[in-house]
Amino acid sequence: MIKRDIQFYKFAMYGFLKNLRFFEPFLILFFRDIGLSFLQIGLLFTIREAVTNVTEIPTGILADSVGRRITMVFSMIAYICSFAIFFFLNSYAWFIVAMTFFGLGESLRSGTHKSLILSYLRMNDWENQKVAYYGLTRSYSQMGSAVNSLIAAFLVFFYGDYKIVFLAALIPYIINLVNLATYPKAIDEEIREKKPQKYSFLATFKSVDNIKIYLNSSLFDAFFKTVKEYLQPILASLALSLPFFVDMNLEKRTSVVVGICYFFIYILTSYASKNSYLFVEKTKKLSLALNVTFITGMILILMAGFFNVFSLNIIPVILFLILFVLQNLRRPLNVSLISDIIPPEKLSTGLSVESQLKTIFIAVFSPILGFLADKIGVGWALFVFSAFMLLLYPMIKISTKYEGEKN
């Protein structure tokens, strides 16, 4: 039974507030509204991921050596700078600067907060609950995303402008900065007090099985983060085809459809994350669960692209919904399996390596998918991209005989 003490609710609050990124449901629509091509948008995402990639391991080492709490505080500051630039400035060059700050915030955050949670579980001898505990705290993040969708839709509907969402996003991030600053110092001290161990981090990658665990996790996450943004133009097309709100302008009609759709998506993903440990129990092995969900995710988006080509947009929306649920079933399993092959005192670095691989793949995937979307349309672009990912699967299939698994 998970103990919901004060720190549990601080972890939950972090996730809830972190996901109040009111611009997320409308980011591509915002860029398209000001005249950017899909390729230009993809390049902005590549810049964000490149910055994250370059700073990923150094910030992971910083978190493990200097302190994870202070690293998380700096992360919030970087995000706040990014949101402010997007709201107050309006040129592609400044958007590059904003994406640079955003990428820095991602690298400071990724892996670090998960390590704080896992350290807290070790302090209390609750390590056997890590899948359930992390999944439950993550469910609050998804609930934050659900609330985020409704608030973002209201803001766009009321103001008739996508830009307002960047200003609104400053508020939860300032509150979260304060929340993180009040985390107990003992979480960092738990790592510092450990005696140094003779361990080479590179030894992790001497095992082919370990490499496949990292690639399976990072490739799927990169695929998800790249394609999920393309739900927005599909929803915009769906909004135009519906016989509702015909007297409203495009932004207001889209805000209603996007807000409702993302709200239900994140309600379902919150439930999926909270119950991810049941998924493990059903499949018996983490590796089997990750393999099955990898293939399923690729097939979902391949079909979504196919149906979008024929403007049957309600079907792609449903398929995207299932993909979001699938991602939130997978993520706690990824973290659990990776934590089994990394010593506790190197966990922030280990998770940062996984995040770095993900950012490399996103940096490559984003402009390619953007280019394809400009040339052959969103539907065919998603179809081709998913088919390519399915071809990669045999090379990154995790062995079901992996010794580090918890059966």
Domains, in order of start, for the chain: 6-191+204-396 (1.20.1250.20)
Tell me the pLDDT tens digit for each residue of 77-124. 999 999 999 999 989 999 999 999 999 998 888 767 877 888 888 888
Tell me the pLDDT tens digit for each residue of 281-328. 676 677 888 898 999 999 999 999 999 999 999 999 999 999 998 988
403 three-state secondary structure: coil
Asked if the model's pLDDT at residue 403 lies above 60, the reply is no
Sign of CA dihedral 59, 60, 64, 69: positive
Residue 388, number of CB atoms within 10 A of its CB: 14
Q: Work out the pLDDT band at 225, boundaries 50, 70, 90.
A: very high
On whether the CB atoms of residues 254 and 236 are closer than 8 A, the answer is yes
Residue 375, number of CB atoms within 10 A of its CB: 11
Separation of alpha carbons 118 and 348, rounded Å: 10
Flag the least confident range among 152-166, 226-240, 335-349: 335-349
Tell me the pLDDT tens digit for each residue of 383-395. 999 999 999 999 9
Q: How high is the mean pLDDT of the chain?
A: 85
Asked if the model's pLDDT at residue 198 lies above 70, the reply is no
Separation of alpha carbons 215 and 157, rounded Å: 41
